[in-house]
Structure 1
Amino acid sequence: MIKLYRLAFVAVFMFTMSCSEDDKAIDTVVEQIERGAILRNIDRVSPNFERTELQSAFTVVLEEQDLEEGGIFDFVRLYLQYLDRTPSNGNNSQAEIVLKDVPSSDFQPGGNGLPVGTIEVIYQDAIDAFNLDSNSILAGDQFELRAEIHLTDGRTFSTENGSSSILTDACFFKSPYRYVINVIDTIDNDLYTGTYSYEIISGPNGSFFNLGEQGIVSITAGNTPNVRNTGLIAEGLEFTIAGTNVYPKIYQSVNLFCRDSAFNALTGPDEENFGIVDLADDTVFELDLVFAYEGWGGSGDLTTPQSYRFRFSKQ
C-alpha cells in the first residue's frame, strides 16, 4: 500500500552528500522553513527476536535532533503491531497499539551534544502487549515498531513526515521511525553466504536497479544472526532469513541520491510474497523485492511500486 507522505518535509531537511558523521541536522536545514525533528540511527544493536528466547530484545541507539539541539524534545511514543506471516496455524495479526512512552530524560548528551538514548523492546513484553500465546508465534512472523517524536510545542513527527533521504540508513539522517522486527530461529553463520549467481525471474520489463537481469554476487553474514548482505543495488541489498521467509530490509536506497530527496529511490519487502528458502539446502533461494517502496521511486513524485523476484544459486 502506498503511503502518501507529506513531501513538504523533504524541504525541511535538504542537505548535501558532503555531510559528515559530525554534522548536525540543525546545521543543514533550509532557512525560512518550519523545522521538525528526527531520530537518527546510531546503532542497530539487535534487530530481531529469537523465537525460543523470550528475553531476546530489539535494541537500537537513537540520536534526537531538533532546531534547539534537543531543547524542545519531550518524549518518544512507541507503537507496536503484530504481523502473522505464517498462515499454517491461522492468522492472528494485531493492529497497532501504543506500547510505551520514552521520556527525554532517558536520553543523554552524545558525542554531538545531542540527546542519545537506547530503545529496547523485550520479546516477552511484545507478546504480553497483545496477550499472545508464544507457542502460536512461528519463525517468519513479525512485529513492527514505530516511533513518534513529541516536542514540547505540541508537534509530533513520525513516518508520515519523512522523505526518502531521511527514511533510509544510506543517507546522513538515518531516521526511518519504523522498524520491522522479524521472529527468527537462528541459523549457522556460514549458511547462505559465499558466491551466488542471481537472476531476476519476475517483474516488469526492464530493471530499475542499475544492474543486469543476471549476474554474480557475493553474500556475506551480517553482524547479527540470520542477516545477510549482498552487493546488489547501490546501498547493498540486506535481507533476513526468518523461518522459510526471506525479508529484505525496508527503505534501502537504490541510487544514493541523498542530495535531492525527491529523486532517491527506495526498495522494501513485498507485503504478500516472502521469498522461498529451504533451511536444509542453501544452494538456491528466492527473494521478493519491491522497487519504489511506499511510492519512493526516484521520479520526484510518488510512483507505483513494482514487485520483482530474484533467484540466487550458489556457485
Structure 2
Amino acid sequence: MKRIIKYLNILFLTGLILGCGSDDKTVDVILESVTSGGVLRTIDINNNLIYNDLLLEFDEGANYTLTLEEQDNQNGELLDQIEIYARFVENTRIDTNMDGVINDDDDDLSTEEGLIRTLTASDFQPGERGVPISVITFTADEFLTFTGVDESKLQGKDDFAIRFVLKLKDGRTFSVDDANGNVSGGSYFSSPYTYRTTIGCTITETLAGTYTYNVTSLIPAPGGRSQCNSMSLPSGEVTWTEDEDRGEYSTTDLSFGQFDNCYTGTFNTINFSKGTIIWDCTKLVADGEIIVEEDTNDEEEFTYTYKITQIMGTDITIDFSNSAGDRGTVVLTRPDSKTWPVLFKAEDD
C-alpha cells in the first residue's frame, strides 16, 4: 500500500510540473510539494575587478559583487548560515626555470582555499519572491589581504575562486559537489555554489584608427571552396572604430583582405560590417563574423581567430584562421608611428 501511495505522489507531482509553463512555476511546485534541501540561486554578477598592468595595482574601487537568493521548502526559514571560501588562482604562469614546460617546478602564486567570510540569516532580506536575498560584495583589497598574494605580481586573467557552503538549521549542508546539472547550470536555478572572478585589464589607450596591413602567407582549407592567390597576397588598410564598450572596435575587415583574395566570385554578397576586435588584456580577439550569400540566398557566417606571434614597435604579427579552415599571417602597422601597448604579448606555439 505504501508503494502505491508513493507512486501516486510521484505521478501527481510530475503532472503538476509538466502542467507549469515556466521555470518559476516549476520551482514553486517543487518547493511546495516535496521535502528538499536548499539552493543558492544566482540573481546577478557584477565583476569590477580591473587591474592596471602598468601601475601593477587594481583600479580604485575594484570589487566583485554577487546577488544571491536562498531557496528551501520553507521559504528561507531553514537558512542557518553560509560559509564562503576563497583562494587565488594564477592563470598566467610562465616557465620560470626555463626548462621548456610549465609544471610544478615553476613558480605558482596560487593559494590554498580558506574561509573568508560567514553569512547568517540576518545578512539576507526578503526578496520579491518572498525568499531571502543578499547582495555580497568583495573588494580587491579584501581578496588580497585574505590570500596574501603580492598585488604587484598579478596579471589580467588571473582570478580569485569563491566557493559557497549553504548550511541549514536541520544540520544539512550543500555545496558544489551536491548540485546536479539542473541546479548548478539550469535556466532557473543557476546555483553553481562556486564562482571564478576573472581579473580584467585596464584599457590604457584607444586602438581606434586606420592600420596598414601586409599579408605574408595564405593557406586555403584543404578540400574547401577557397582558391587563394598566393602570388598576389593582400595588402591595404583596415579601420577600427571604437564602440560603446571601451576596448571594443568595429573593423572594416576581419580577414585583412584574405576573404576577397580566396573567395573571388564565390558569393553573391559579402558583408564585412559585423566584425569586431576586442582588446582582451594581452590578446586581440576577433569577434563577430563575415556574412555571405550564395545563389541559394542562404546566409553563411565565417568567424575568425587571432594569435599574436610577434610585436616589434609599430608592427604586430598575427596568425589568423577562419571557421572554414583557411589560414594566414598578417603584419599590422599602427598609424602615426605609435607603438603597440606593452600589455600585448606574443603567444608561444
TM class, shorter-chain normalised? 0.5 to 0.7
1:283/1:122 CA distance change after superposition, 3 Å: farther
1:212-231 mapped onto 2 (5 Å cutoff): none
Distance in 2 between residues matched to 1:172 and 1:217, nearest whole Å: 35
Distance in 2 between residues matched to 1:149 and 1:47, nearest whole Å: 22
| Counterpart position of 2:36 | 35
- Following superposition, the deviation at residue 121 of structure 1 comes to 1.0
| Counterpart position of 2:91 | 85
Q: Which amino acid aligns with 2:38?
A: A
- Following superposition, the deviation at residue 97 of structure 1 comes to 0.9
Question: Which protein is bigger by CA-based radius of gyration?
Answer: 2
1:263-302 mapped onto 2 (5 Å cutoff): none
CA deviations 1:222-255 (Å, max 9, x no partner) are: xxxxxx8xxxxxxxxxxx9454498xxxxxxxxx
| Counterpart position of 1:186 | 202
Task: Give the % identical residues.
Answer: 25
Residue 27 of structure 2 is aligned to residue 25 of structure 1: yes
Distance in 2 between residues matched to 1:244 and 1:113, nearest whole Å: 45
Q: Which amino acid aligns with 1:69?
A: N
TM-score (normalizing by structure 2): 0.51
1:103/1:276 CA distance change after superposition, 3 Å: farther
- Following superposition, the deviation at residue 186 of structure 1 comes to 3.1
Equivalent residue of 1:87, what SS?
A: coil
Q: Contact 1:183 / 1:242 at 8 angstroms: preserved in 2?
A: no
- Following superposition, the deviation at residue 120 of structure 1 comes to 1.2
Distance in 1 between residues matched to 2:141 and 2:63, nearest whole Å: 9
Q: Which amino acid aligns with 2:44?
A: D
Match of 2:70 among 64, 69, 85: 64
Distance in 2 between residues matched to 1:55 and 1:178, nearest whole Å: 23
| Counterpart position of 2:259 | none
CA deviations 1:48-77 (Å, max 9, x no partner) are: 511222631110111110011000101111
1:176/1:74 CA distance change after superposition, 3 Å: same
Q: Which amino acid aligns with 1:42?
A: I
- Following superposition, the deviation at residue 137 of structure 1 comes to 1.2
1:1-315 mapped onto 2 (5 Å cutoff): 18-20=21-23, 22-23=24-25, 25-29=27-31, 34-44=35-45, 46-51=46-51, 52-53=58-59, 55-88=61-94, 90-168=107-185, 171-187=187-203, 189=245, 191-192=247-248, 194=250, 241-244=280-283
Q: Contact 2:32 / 2:73 at 8 angstroms: preserved in 1?
A: no
Aligned residues: 214
Equivalent residue of 1:125, what SS?
A: helix
1:53/1:111 CA distance change after superposition, 3 Å: same
| Counterpart position of 1:307 | none
Equivalent residue of 2:183, what SS?
A: helix
Q: Which amino acid aligns with 1:92?
A: L
Distance in 2 between residues matched to 1:245 and 1:66, nearest whole Å: 44
Q: Contact 1:49 / 1:57 at 8 angstroms: preserved in 2?
A: yes
RMSD of aligned C-alpha atoms?
4.3
Q: Which amino acid aligns with 2:83?
A: R
- Following superposition, the deviation at residue 156 of structure 1 comes to 0.8
| Counterpart position of 2:241 | none
1:281/1:81 CA distance change after superposition, 3 Å: farther
Q: Which amino acid aligns with 1:111?
A: E
Q: Contact 2:175 / 2:193 at 8 angstroms: preserved in 1?
A: yes
Query: Which runs of 5 or more residues in structure 2 are unaligned?
Result: 1-12, 52-57, 97-106, 207-244, 256-271, 286-305, 321-326, 330-349
Q: Contact 1:49 / 1:182 at 8 angstroms: preserved in 2?
A: yes
1:166/1:276 CA distance change after superposition, 3 Å: farther
| Counterpart position of 1:267 | none
- Following superposition, the deviation at residue 43 of structure 1 comes to 1.6
- Following superposition, the deviation at residue 127 of structure 1 comes to 0.7
TM-score (normalizing by structure 1): 0.56
Whose RCO is larger (CA < 8 A, sep 6+)? 1
- Report which of the two has the higher share of helix: 2
Distance in 1 between residues matched to 2:195 and 2:250, nearest whole Å: 28
The farther-off stretch of 181-190 and 72-81 is 181-190
Distance in 2 between residues matched to 1:158 and 1:75, nearest whole Å: 13
Equivalent residue of 1:69, what SS?
A: coil
Q: Which amino acid aligns with 1:27?
A: V
1:194/1:85 CA distance change after superposition, 3 Å: same
Q: Contact 1:26 / 1:65 at 8 angstroms: preserved in 2?
A: no
